[in-house]
Structure 1
């Protein structure tokens, strides 16, 4: 029985583009500035060398952030939502399963505004489908989003993992407010 399941990338392609633009381009510009100062003066100052090392470190971290993936894991009878990089767990957040006995997959169509795109169409938006794996109480009146996935097969795999490792059952979302 698997104790963890690594799922999709933590960021969409649009978010990855933003990360690279907002964090990556300033690092490249500063690196070019420091290198041009170095070659114009033809001497290496320790402050310039320190700036280059710092910028290289920032660029490396930005590059690694893009490869983060979400996952679900079981540890000591607890459910955790994990952040992975190259298959290694970096961070985990415990999910409280008090009064949670059911789960559902909610299929939703979402849209995201496209920042920094065409001025001719400023309200341009990207539409996409998501499969939200949601934790529910007995009457389905309280729901908690566990994870939102693009791939329906991964959502079904996540549900199977949760049913095998925890006392949760898959149901069709139908709240009973009586």
Structure 2
């Protein structure tokens, strides 16, 4: 399992979680806060409830309710967990209006195909985890056009991840040695 390093630090209390950002030049904390408040308004209970935000602090932080669960990174993600993720994503798409998501800076929903491609291409699905992408995507009733778009976008995302990994000179590294090489192999397989 990879050491969990991130662009933020998390403090867990009994009933709350505080996320303190180590990177905030692109509105990360504001995006997080707006996302939580939108989900709480339109789909309460599907995500942590927003509690407080210190968006102008250095570093900024967002505090939310703590919900039960187990991190999936570093595990074999079970089919029941993948089904639950698919149900949750479908519920969010049904509940949150697109115009409300437009209020999230550099965030928001584009379309289902893009989001599914992004999730199924994310490094966390394979760096140190087992995530059955085919099974996961099969849980959604996709049109032929969406399926084709997902495959195209998975290739694009794989290329973007490879570029990011090759330019990642940050310390400490977020992923284990050899991740860029493995990502290059994944990209070639998708091509």
TM-score bin (small chain):
under 0.3
Higher share in helix: 2
TM-score (norm 2): 0.22
Higher share in strand: 1
Larger radius of gyration between Structure 1 and Structure 2: 1
